[in-house]
Structure 1
Amino acid sequence: MSDSRTVPAKLTGGTALPRPRAAGIAWAALTVSIFSGWFVITRFSVTRELRIWDITALRFGIGALLLAPVLVRNRTRLPRAAWGTGFVFAMLWGVPFVLLVALGLSLTSAAQAASIAPTLMPLFAGLFAWAFLGEIQGWRRWGGYAAILAGLSLLLLAGAASSGPPSAAGIGALAAAAAMWAVYTLLFRRSGLAPIESAALICFWSAVLFLPVYGLGGLSRLGHAGAGEIALQAVYQGVLMSGVAIFTFNRAVSLLGSSAATAIIALIPTIASLLAIPILGEHPSPAEGAAIAVIVAGVLLAARRPGPPEPSDQRRENR
């Protein structure tokens, strides 16, 4: 399904038009802010009364309700194939993704989880785009990916020095989540779906598949949590994560391309570390600060567009 309202992909002097790129960076920055807070807010609740099952139910249940008008309004325009695509997207960036990250959180720590999954995602996205789609990355991006990986390694070593080596199973779960996220990113750009449509379909399929298991399986602990904690998670998980963050990330991918948008996502450990200082009382060590600086340098390199435009770089406007 194509969108007739696209921004021309005309290039001037081999560089992208500045206005769409600036808008894409703004959408990516908003996404990074929301995702960074997600690791902190989720860790805050799962160490108290609520469990990851409650977080997942709030995230996709409320998200499905809020975004239902999008599917109702577009039901005659969305082809049957779009619903199948949405199901695939839900398998990549819906409940399975959340549960894998939750497993990683339970086996490692909030700081390590916020470092591993978002940092590996642009590496997987760049590698997959190069290997399977023939996208030219350029030496700057490869250098940026190398710097991001080096920064991640330094973060893990610094964490191991203070709290022991991380769990191999936890790292594996977070790496799998990052790979799924990367595949979703590449598929979304070629799906023809608008950002809000993709977000609505992910929430719809996730709610349909998970909520019956949640309700019939007796997994709820909402009755044990206070109203304030439930309200916090309902707003952050159901509104910001399931609605706003998916939409803003999709817009960033549409405007910047998958490689640049996913590279900016690697800034999440930096923002999450800053948020953890006042909320969780966690202060990064000097070694962790140096590692974060290396990651930032890698992001600045990897987020740059190579000379020729990326294939299929169609910039969809919000419908």
Structure 2
Amino acid sequence: MTYVSPGREYTRDSRYLTDRITADGHGGFPVGPGRYRLVVSRACPWASRAVIVRRLLGLEAALPMAVAAPTHDDRSWDFSLDPGGRDPVLGIERLREAYLARDPGYRGGITVPAIVDVPTGAVVTNDFVQITIDMSREWTAFHREGAPALYPPALRPEIDAIDAAVYEDVNNGVYRAGFAGSQEAYEAAYERLFARLDLLSERLGASRYLVGDTLTEADVRLFTTLVRFDAVYHGHFKCNRSKLTEMPVLWAYARDLFQTPGFGDTVDFEHIKRHYYLVHEDINPTGVVPAGPDLSGWLEPHGRAALGGRPFGDGTPPGPPAAQERVPDGHGPLTS
């Protein structure tokens, strides 16, 4: 599959389906337990945000989840992990079918995360930015007891500002480096990425979390890039000034989050590596998937508790993941 456009800077297609699922249903899609299905891939950092937030808030029963296979082709993500190669609820083989159920002439990106309306089989939204915000704001009636406030009103301006910078320079920055079509575009993305990581290191050197003294949406968004950094971005995307393990503050911060219930127990390193190294054929034409890196360091002490902070504020951690949602054994240090 082709992602690199020679001579050009990488630009993400941001044409998303922006319908929203709201508590009052004013847009035609009211919140309702079991009505919708969250389709994700554990390989995808944008989908991983939704997986983590859903788990932290305890929305597993209200918003069931479908996990697509880690690789896809031009026909879209598929459900080959499920018996018979079909999602057991939607009855489809490929996510493309749910997009076409919404619009038979659909020509946009077939992306995850996507929330599908089960009665119609049609995608409601794939707006990954808004999906997690709405989990916090619109699904409150179905939050678990003790759910953290990931997007508290008083901190929203600061969270939004951090999120914008992290998205531009880090979340999307690694893609601009990896899919750069010229040396100049690559070097600009590379410099911008590491300049931002240096600023984040300074910020997190004195604060356990990005905003306030508890976990917020901002931490979730940064984590999904950091957890993939050494496994794929450092080598595959040429983001190689430093490994995460060579950036002491960010490495300790990432380990702190990884060891927090709801974060590391959602991470599937095997899916992550298979996706990036097999799907991006123009970057890795041999299709060889690296055997490393060593994952044991993710469980080493991080020392971040000395900075204070309360991960869940006045709330509590989520319980263990349900058996059907556990990351397979051997796909990460928590399951090996």
TM-score bin, normalised by smaller chain = under 0.3
Q: Which has the higher contact order (CA 8 A, sep 6+)?
A: 1
TM-score calculated relative to the size of structure 2 = 0.26
TM-score calculated relative to the size of structure 1 = 0.27
